[in-house]
Amino acid sequence: MKTFLYSKKEIKEWEKLAGRKLDKDRRTGRTTAIAFFTIGKALKNPYKWLQIKDHHNSFASNKYLTSKIQDIISSLHLEGFEISILHSKIRFNLVEQ
């Protein structure tokens, strides 16, 4: 059984109010999924700097993804992560350096 975030009726109502069709590539959770994947990849590769890249792979989207990763790490009280906002990179350190 598939579960959807919005019903077809809700989508039709939104489209009517907005005066345009819903862009099915927006608000799909891809960036959030990439954020969790990137955190997991950093955990699996300690001490190694990993590039943070969003599915759009633009400067702005990569910076947004970097801030989303920071928010997730902070919200979940995860420790040992180092993030370079300037370079959109992340690494996990097993011990404090």
Q: pLDDT tens, 35-60?
A: 999 999 999 999 999 999 998 888 99
Give the mean model confidence (pLDDT) for residues 26-40.
Answer: 86
Contact assessment for residue 52 and residue 38, using Cβ atoms and an 8 Å cutoff: yes
Domain layout of the chain by residue ranges: 35-97
List CB contacts of 31: < 8 A, sequence separation 6 or more.
Answer: 54, 55, 61, 64, 65, 68
Q: How open is the CA angle 86-72-61, to the nearest 5 degrees?
A: 45
Tell which wins on pLDDT, 23 or 62: 62
The pair of three-digit structure tokens given for residue 25, joined into one six-digit string: 């590539």
Q: pLDDT tens, 6-18?
A: 788 887 887 888 8
Is the predicted pLDDT of residue 19 greater than 90, yes or no? no
Q: What are phi and psi of 4, to 5 degrees?
A: -115, 150
Global pTM value: 0.71
